[in-house]
Structure 1
Amino acid sequence: MQKRYRIKREKEFQEVFAAGHSKANRNFVVYQIKKPGQTHYRVGISVGKKVGHTAVCRNQIKRYIRQSLLELSDQLPGDVDFLVIARANAKNLDMKETKTNLIHVLKLSQLLLEAQAE
């Protein structure tokens, strides 16, 4: 995932938290905020120490999330910033389960433009 598709600054994270709407399932929470005029979506990923005690575990979860979003990128709207926050159960998921759970929570937040065929 290219850097222009990422939310990195604390101020931008806080803006999405404060003004955004959230939806969740057991493994992920998604906050979103509309950004009219923006040409592509931006995503922030947060995996706290409660999820995985080691950096290796947290980074693996982030890689799974990034790869899943990359595979779904053509179905995501361009005028939105959103955050994906992993919950404690996310450390038990493999790549396929991570993608399935992300699809579920993105559908709940109405971020997927078309249905994903599995």
Structure 2
Amino acid sequence: MKKKYRIKKNEEFQQVFQQGKSTANRQFVVYVLDRPEQPYFRLGLSVSKKIGKAVVRNRVKRYIRQVFLELREHIAIGHDYVIIARIPVAGMNYAEVKKSLVHVLKKAGVLIKQPFSSP
């Protein structure tokens, strides 16, 4: 993911947490902050040490980034997103992570088009 599409600074995270709206399921919490002047969306990830050791945390972050990469045409632009991973994510594979993220993004109302149909 390019630098301009990421949220890295603590002030930016805090702004999303304080002014954004949150939606959650068992595996993820998604904070969405509306930024209509922004022609793209930005993504911030928070994966706590409670999830597991560095290998597990990095795998979870890779999975989340890949889901956003695959769904970028389906996700509403002009928003900042902060994804917080919860403990159950540690034992999930990529397909489960994708399904859970799609579910929480639908719940948040930020998926524009249907990314894929469920079997």
The two structures, once aligned, show a CA RMSD in angstroms of 0.7
User: What CA distance in whole angstroms lies between the structure 1 residues aligned with 2:33 and 2:10?
Assistant: 15
Provide TM-score, normalisation by structure 2. 0.96
Question: Residue 96 of structure 1: CA displacement?
Answer: 0.6
Unaligned stretches of 5+ residues in structure 2: none
Residue in 2 that maps onto 1:35: 35
Question: Residue 77 of structure 1: CA displacement?
Answer: 1.5
CA offsets, 1:60-94, max 9 Å, x none? 00000000110000111111001000000000110
CA offsets, 1:87-115, max 9 Å, x none? 00000110011000000000000110011
User: What CA distance in whole angstroms lies between the structure 1 residues aligned with 2:69 and 2:24?
Assistant: 20
Letter in 2 for 1:21: K
Residue in 2 that maps onto 1:65: 64
The percent of aligned pairs where both chains have the same amino acid is: 46
SS in 1 for 2:97: helix
After TM superposition, list the pairs within 5 Å mapping 1:76-91 onto structure 2.
76-91=75-90
Moved more, 108-117 or 98-107: 108-117
After TM superposition, list the pairs within 5 Å mapping 1:39-54 onto structure 2.
39-52=39-52, 54=53
**Which runs of structure 1 show a deviation greater than 2 angstroms over 4 or more consecutive aligned residues?**
none
Question: Residue 37 of structure 1: CA displacement?
Answer: 1.1
Letter in 1 for 2:76: P
Residue in 1 that maps onto 2:3: 3
User: What CA distance in whole angstroms lies between the structure 2 residues aligned with 1:77 and 1:21?
Assistant: 15
Letter in 2 for 1:40: Y
Residue in 1 that maps onto 2:74: 75
Provide TM-score, normalisation by structure 1. 0.96
